[in-house]
Structure 1
């Protein structure tokens, strides 16, 4: 079987596994919640539906929103904004004003009421009963800023676009190590340091994947500072320097004795592809992405389960603690691999013919 056909069949398996009823009640795989875990899952399904033209997947997303929209009225936190990233595209496709109204309401909360640090960066807030006062996490750029950028791209409103660009650059400024280009997981504004100062793979993946999409949405709406581009190139160069020979990355990027982690690896590689597409990176980065595709394919079980995905991970107290995080299937693991494989047919051969499953 050729690789493109294999990818198309694997993508269908990933989709089928994500929507199984048997996942109910499992934190990592229960899709019927309004939080970041299912949020990344449905964002990824939209990416797949848009690229493949599969109406079945789009219909599922519309049903998902209808089933879960009441849950969106709950606590307003950064992580619960993730599913709203669907709404600009759903509005374009359906012209249902409800999608635009709800998206604007969420954006208004984000701009006017969401807590920020003394630097003005969004404080990372979560649905669980725990606070991280004045902490900046890389995760925020994907869970919230990507949504804001998509809405700004849809509406052309400069206040949304300016805020998305400002938050993206702030996160890069606060989290980037100037020597390696890699990102730290978090920054504590009160204490003035990066806490355990760990270069966690999935943290780097969230921003590597989000920035090209943010730029694509907003470069025609507002000016993108050159600093944002240069910091992104530095990040990508740092990531390329620590990619393992099999195409994956270790869960702590500079610790080759630690386990390799599938979701972070997929997110970084997909970010490379999107970075090249948007002119942020040169085409040589596609070689690393190809190796990641080949490295992840054997990690997909026959039932479509993505293996080697680490569980939810706050900023841990030490680097060693990141190597102890439990590994189990999650919607963000399924989703980040889905996003990578969605772009892999173009990466490998420049054709979409393999989408016909």
Structure 2
């Protein structure tokens, strides 16, 4: 009971901390269209807010469709639609994932039209690499010929989720294809971990960085894909094996304190909270579903203890690395600054929502 009380209290503080995030004038990154980028505050429409909303909608489900959380989510999307949505790219697709789950549960017709239009534009307009991968173009940069781990979380999960809810198998098929294409070029055959990115312009994995948060996107994605859609058994079997291979490599790299470092296999890089939370979520969930073993579940619980210690008195998560572009050398990752963000809040929310299920 004491463990459950601590988790519930931490979750309440996290939600309050998420709502309080505001852009402080730092990290100004203008978009290609001249608008200012906002990767920190709660109300911006970008990938950090999208990941945050996904954490909140999962907590909303875990709390039996809590009315206050439901109003918070609906209000966020109402305000965004009143302002007008930005152009479509990989990162601006991220908020559509939580919206697809909200619509699946409520069938609000206002949301269906937005989701359908966005999904259609992803299918027809998103730039592609060779092999049909979705090119990782973002609001402030065109990344010609590049595949990134992040794309699977920001786009492929949305296609799977909305495709299943809207009975559109073409979208689910596309999501599966994206997982397979990205695995072909990003999964490291030597270790089982995943590289941050791949470029067809030179055909290489940049710094060959086994970046923690990128790997955490993969751990979470490889589990949540099966929650969001019905996947054919052949690719499902392959993707489950990829998950187990990654986890086998992850477990020995956990620090004594329960964290993972921002470069997983580099003891000189700093412990990073958002990735640790993502791994905690995936490891505990995988163990609960019988896809991963006892050791994975225990590692996830140690990681939860670590991330709870990183929650400040105002509910803001510390030790989170700022949004990370593609690095061409490993020092780039070691130098990424620490900054509270929506995705830091939400990945910890995901981890604690899963930890709550473990206490039931």
State the TM-score, normalized to the length of structure 1.
0.92
Indicate the residue corresponding to 1:16 in structure 2: 16
Q: Residue 68 in 1 paired to residue 80 in 2? A: yes
Question: CA 1:24/1:105 → structure 2, altered by over 3 Å: closer, same or farther?
Answer: farther
Alignment partner of 1:184 out of 187, 191, 195: 195
2: CA distance between counterparts of 1:175 and 1:185? 7
SS at match of 2:215: helix
Alpha-carbon separation, structure 1, partners of 2:324 and 2:282:
21
SS of structure 2 residue aligned to 1:136: strand
Structure 1 CA distance, aligned partners of 2:292 and 2:84?
36
Q: Secondary structure at the match of 1:164?
A: helix
- CA deviations on 1:142-190 (whole Å, 9 max, x unpaired) are 1111111111221232211111111012111210111110000000012
Say whether the 8 Å CA contact 2:21–2:40 is kept in structure 1: no
Residue 99 in structure 1 maps to residue 98 in structure 2: no
How many residues are paired up? Answer: 347
Alignment map for 1:82-231 (pairs within 5 Å): 82-128=94-140, 130-219=141-230, 222-225=232-235, 226-231=237-242
Contact 1:212 1:278 in 2 (8 A): no
Q: CA 1:125 to 1:70, structure 2 compared with 1: closer, same or farther past 3 Å?
A: farther
Task: Select 2:354's aligned residue among 343, 347, 350.
Answer: 343
The alpha-carbon deviation at position 261 of structure 1 amounts to 0.3
Alignment of 1:236-247 (within 5 A): 236-247=247-258
Does the 8 Å contact 2:284/2:301 carry over to 1?
no
Decide whether the 8 Å contact of 1:33 with 1:71 is kept in 2.
no
Question: In the alignment, is the contact (CA less than 8 A) between 2:48 and 2:342 conserved in 1?
Answer: yes
Q: How does 1:289-300 map to 2 (within 5 A)?
A: 289-300=300-311
Evaluate the alpha carbon distance shift between residue 51 and residue 324 of structure 1 in structure 2; reply closer, same or farther with a 3 A threshold. Answer: same
**Is the contact made by 1:216 and 1:278 (CA closer than 8 Å) also made in structure 2?**
no
Scaled by the length of structure 2, the TM-score of the pair is: 0.92
Structure 1, unpaired ranges of 5+:
352-357
Deviation at 1:46, TM superposition (A): 0.7
Cross-structure match for 2:29: none
Task: Give the Cα–Cα distance (whole angstroms) in 2 for the partners of residues 86 and 192 of structure 1.
Answer: 34
Q: Is the 8 A contact 1:233 1:281 kept in 2?
A: yes
* Matched position secondary structure for 1:73: coil
**Residue pair 1:276, 1:283 contacting (<8 A) in 2 also:** yes
1:2 corresponds to 2:14: no
